[in-house]
Amino acid sequence: MRSLADELSDLIDRFGPVPFDQVMELALYDPDRGFFTTTGAAGRRGDFLTSAEVGPLFGAVIARALDTWWRELGSPDPFVVVDAGAGTGALARAVLAAKPQCVGALTYLLVERSAARRGQQARGLPIVPAAFAFPPTAVDGDGFAVTVDAGTGPRAVSMAELPAAPFAGVVIANELLDNLPFRIVERARDGWKEVRVGHGAAGFTEILTECPPELTAVADAVAPQVIPGSRLPLQLAAADWLAAALERLTAGRLVIVDYAATSPELAARGRGWLRTYRAHERGTDPLLDLGEQDITADLAVDQLARVRPPTSRTTQAELLRTFGIDELVAEGRTTWHERAAIGDLGAIRGRSRVREAEALLDPAGLGSFAVLQWVMR
- pLDDT tens, residue by residue, 188-210: 999 999 999 999 888 999 999 99
C-alpha span between 157 and 125 (Å, rounded): 9
In a domain? residue 373: no
One domain, residues 247 and 293: yes
* Residue 43 banded pLDDT, cuts 50, 70, 90: very low
Q: Which domain CATH number covers 88?
A: 3.40.50.150
Q: Are 91 and 65 in contact (CB under 8 A)?
A: no
User: Both 57 and 170 in a single domain?
Assistant: yes
Per-residue pLDDT tens over the stretch 307-352: 999 999 999 999 999 999 999 998 878 766 656 556 556 556 767 8
Instruction: Say yes or no: 77 and 97 in one domain.
Output: yes
DSSP 3-state of 342? coil
Tell which of 108, 142, 174 closes a domain.
174
In a domain, 304, yes or no: yes
Same-domain status, 184 and 303: yes
Total of domains in the chain: 3
Asked if residue 320 belongs to a domain, the reply is: no
Q: Check residue 146 and give its pLDDT.
A: 55
Give yes or no: residues 86 and 155 share one domain.
Answer: yes
For residue 89, being part of any structural domain is answered with: yes
Answer yes or no: is 125 within a domain: yes
In this predicted structure, what is the pLDDT of residue 37?
Answer: 84
Lowest-pLDDT range of 220-234, 277-291, 314-328, 353-367: 277-291
Q: For 353-365, what is each residue's pLDDT tens digit?
A: 889 999 999 999 9
For residues 273 and 188, membership in a common domain is answered with yes
Residues 254 and 297 in one domain: yes
- Residues of the chain with pLDDT > 90, as a percent, come to 74
Q: Do 183 and 164 share a domain, yes or no?
A: no
Kindly report, residue by residue over 150-174, the tens digit of the pLDDT. Answer: 778 899 999 999 999 999 999 999 9
Q: Which of 148, 174, 200 is the last residue of a domain?
A: 174
Of residues 37, 28, 27, the one with CA closest to residue 7? 27
CATH of the domain at 44: 3.40.50.12710
Residues 184 and 227 both lie in one domain? yes
- Residue 186 sits in the same domain as residue 298: yes
| pLDDT at residue 40 tops 70 | no
Q: How high is the pLDDT of residue 302?
A: 98
Amino acid of residue 192: W
Query: Which of 144, 174, 204 is the endpoint of a domain?
Result: 174
340-354 pLDDT, tens digit per residue, is: 556 556 556 767 888
| Residue-level pLDDT at 353 | 84
The DSSP annotation for 157-182 comes to EEESS--SS-EEEEEEEES-GGGS--
Q: Rounded to whole angstroms, how far apart are CA atoms 175 and 154? A: 24
Band (274; pLDDT cuts 50, 70, 90): very high
Domain that holds residue 19: 4-48+179-309
**Amino acid in the structure at residue 139:** V
Q: What does the pLDDT read at residue 357?
A: 94
Average pLDDT of the chain to the nearest whole number: 90
Q: Are residues 339 and 257 in the same domain?
A: no
pLDDT at residue 98 is higher than 90: yes
- pTM (global) more than 0.75: yes
Distance of CA 73 to the CA centre of its chain: 24
Measured distance CA(91)–CA(121) in Å, rounded:
11
| Residue of 63 and 332 predicted with greater confidence | 63
- The reply to whether 157 falls in a domain is yes
Query: In this structure, are residues 263 and 300 in contact, taking their beta carbons and an 8 Å threshold?
Result: yes
Same domain, 194 and 299: yes
In a domain, 372, yes or no: no
Assess if residue 376 is contained within a domain: no
